[in-house]
Structure 1
Amino acid sequence: MRRILGLLGALAILGFGAFWFLTLPDRLPDDAFANLTPDAAHGQQVFTAAGCASCHMASDATGDAELVLSGGQKFPSAFGTFIAPNISPDPDHGIGAWSVEDLGNALQRGIGREGEHLYPALPYTAYQHMAPQDVVDLYAYLQTLPPDATPSQPHDMSFPFTLRRGLGLWKVLFLDPDYVVTADLTPEETRGRYIAEAMAHCGECHTPRNALGGLDRSRWLAGAPNPSGQGTIPNITPAKLSWSPDEVVEYLTTGFTPEFDSVGGHMAHVVENMSKLPESDRAAVAAYLQRVAPSQ
């Protein structure tokens, strides 16, 4: 019996050690943003493409108030309700005291300033593909926005999802460093992939998830239940999306479909953001969608 108990104790220690090692935060290299000159003007375009204001502005914000990133919007899910934090330049309640390295680790590794794992409600599974220069430029632009002293609210999560250390295992399983569409793409399609898979994180809503919340990359953009429980998010692979590239560009510009319907819900923010990008970027997204594997 003593030997059995000793063996079980040793296995428990080994298991805990393996868990601790596998869940260690994986930070960016210290020189990830070395020798890069920030361009805040270009950072505004990155900010728009990434949809930062859509999630981090106050829920009732309009006009100029959309650039006050006080947080507070609620995003329900099967694991609890995520509440967007304040990412304004306020040094106490926002990210005004963060370095560009802090921002990069949050966006591309899902690691907070204190070394904690962040929930993937922040779509770092997509943002990990952002070019270092774009992160630097985004950081510079964020510093130009108005600070706001609204405290961030804690997420409304229940046990065991409150144990952030477990997110380290989630990242081992689902933080895939590769693009989904890996075919030989044209420069336009490559740009579209960067916008859709990285900055605009289209897959976060349009791709179904498994029971652990990981994206089912085998059914990329094949549609998914709305996390709010209201309706579904459509399949936009070539198997279902019959629009021409020009019609996709028109939709991303005006919000009107070929059937004369209009965009609604959170997608309205996406279209608003896309409409502010150069038309060539919208055309690039349309070209990229033609290269996504059809999925029913």
Structure 2
Amino acid sequence: MPRLLPSLLLLAALCGGFGWWMTAPQPLPPEATAGLSGDAVKGEAVFWAAGCASCHMAPEASGAAQRVLSGGQRFTTAFGTFIAPNISPDPQQGIGGWSLAQFANAVQRGISPEGDHLYPAFPYAAYAKMAMQDLADLKAFMDTLPPDPTPSMAHEVGFPFNIRRALGGWKLLFLTEGWGVTGDLTAQEERGRYLAEALAHCGECHTPRNALGGLQTTRWLAGAPNPSGKGTIPNLTPAKLDWSEADIAAYLTTGFTPEFDSVGGHMAHVVENFARLPESEAQAVAAYLKKVNPSE
């Protein structure tokens, strides 16, 4: 055994080094954002479709205060409690000093400007499908929002989930640019897919997850337990959601079901966001939902 010890130590060192290399952050290539300039007017639509204010405004903010992205909302999960950071244009406490490349790496790759992995409570797995021009437009609009000096609070995450390097392994398993719905789609259905799967990141809440927190893509939008442990998030596939396309579009923009129940919980923010967009966007999502594979 003493003779084997040096070999075992060398093997352990090699395995550790390989694991460290494999879990390193993988930023976008520099050319991904080279030469891009954003349009703030177009970026506002991206902002509401992506639901940025829904998570990053202060708790209970309303009206104009929803545009102040000071953070502070708490999101409880089985892995810990994640607290939305300040993403206002404040140069010290927010993201006002970020370049477009740094912004793109955070949004699409889950990498901070310091080179650390970000937790996937920030839905970069969905935003990875965003068009780069939309991302540039989004940043241009966010740069026009009010800066706020509120410091971001640390997430309340215990061992082993506080080891951020391990998120590199999570990304290897679950960070993909593949679509949940594939096959032949009309232009309207493709637009709906882009809105639902990339910008509005519907799958992040409505698709069940495995023990590691990865989406069970074979049960796309089939509903899931609420991460807070209270109740469930509904099934949006045709196996359960039998509303007409007109009913779905109306719900997304008014918050009323065909039975005249009203929207509640975090979904109320989604309705507020879609109400700010052209009606054709909600209609596109409704058309897309009819193409989702039925799943009980």
Q: TM-score, normalised by structure 2?
A: 0.99
| Number of residue pairs aligned between Structure 1 and Structure 2 | 296
Residue 179 of structure 1 is matched in structure 2 by 179
Range 242-251 or range 178-187, more displaced: 178-187
Structure 1 residue runs of 5 or longer lacking an equivalent are none
Q: Does 1:117 align with 2:109?
A: no
Query: Which one-letter code corresponds to 1:232 in the other structure?
Result: T
Deviations 1:157-181 (A, max 9, x none): 1011111000000000110221111
Residue 12 of structure 2 is matched in structure 1 by 12
Residue 287 of structure 2 is matched in structure 1 by 287
Residue 207 of structure 1 is matched in structure 2 by 207
**How far has the Cα of 1:21 moved from its partner?**
1.2
Residue 46 of structure 1 is matched in structure 2 by 46
Residue 70 of structure 2 is matched in structure 1 by 70
Query: Which one-letter code corresponds to 1:237 in the other structure?
Result: T
Residue 261 of structure 2 is matched in structure 1 by 261
Deviations 1:169-210 (A, max 9, x none): 000011022111111111000000000000000000000000
Q: CA RMSD in A?
A: 0.8
Q: Does 1:156 align with 2:140?
A: no
Deviations 1:95-121 (A, max 9, x none): 001111111000000000100000001
Distance 2:148 2:200 in 1: 25
Range 49-58 or range 35-44, more displaced: 35-44
Distance 2:142 2:3 in 1: 60
Q: Does 1:273 align with 2:256?
A: no
Residue 189 of structure 1 is matched in structure 2 by 189
Distance 2:117 2:36 in 1: 26
Residue 252 of structure 1 is matched in structure 2 by 252
**How far has the Cα of 1:7 moved from its partner?**
2.7
**How far has the Cα of 1:4 moved from its partner?**
2.3
Query: Which one-letter code corresponds to 2:135 in the other structure?
Result: V
Distance 1:199 1:11 in 2: 44
8 Å CA contact 2:89–2:146 kept in 1: the answer is yes
**How far has the Cα of 1:219 moved from its partner?**
0.4
**How far has the Cα of 1:6 moved from its partner?**
2.2
Residue 100 of structure 2 is matched in structure 1 by 100
Query: Which one-letter code corresponds to 1:99 in the other structure?
Result: S
Query: Which one-letter code corresponds to 2:195 in the other structure?
Result: I
Distance 2:128 2:3 in 1: 47
Question: What SS is found at the alignment partner of 2:103?
Answer: helix
**How far has the Cα of 1:274 moved from its partner?**
1.0
Give aligned-pair identity as a percent.
65
**How far has the Cα of 1:34 moved from its partner?**
2.0
Distance 2:165 2:64 in 1: 38
Residue 55 of structure 1 is matched in structure 2 by 55
Distance 1:12 1:277 in 2: 55
Structure 2 residue runs of 5 or longer lacking an equivalent are none
Question: What SS is found at the alignment partner of 2:295?
Answer: coil
Residue 235 of structure 2 is matched in structure 1 by 235
Query: Which one-letter code corresponds to 1:174 in the other structure?
Result: F
8 Å CA contact 2:128–2:176 kept in 1: the answer is no
Distance 2:180 2:271 in 1: 23
**How far has the Cα of 1:10 moved from its partner?**
2.1
**How far has the Cα of 1:3 moved from its partner?**
3.1
Question: What SS is found at the alignment partner of 1:75?
Answer: strand
Deviations 1:240-269 (A, max 9, x none): 000010000010110000111100000000
Q: TM-score, normalised by structure 1?
A: 0.99
Range 70-79 or range 8-17, more displaced: 8-17
Query: Which one-letter code corresponds to 1:79 in the other structure?
Result: F
Query: Which one-letter code corresponds to 1:241 in the other structure?
Result: L
8 Å CA contact 2:32–2:132 kept in 1: the answer is yes
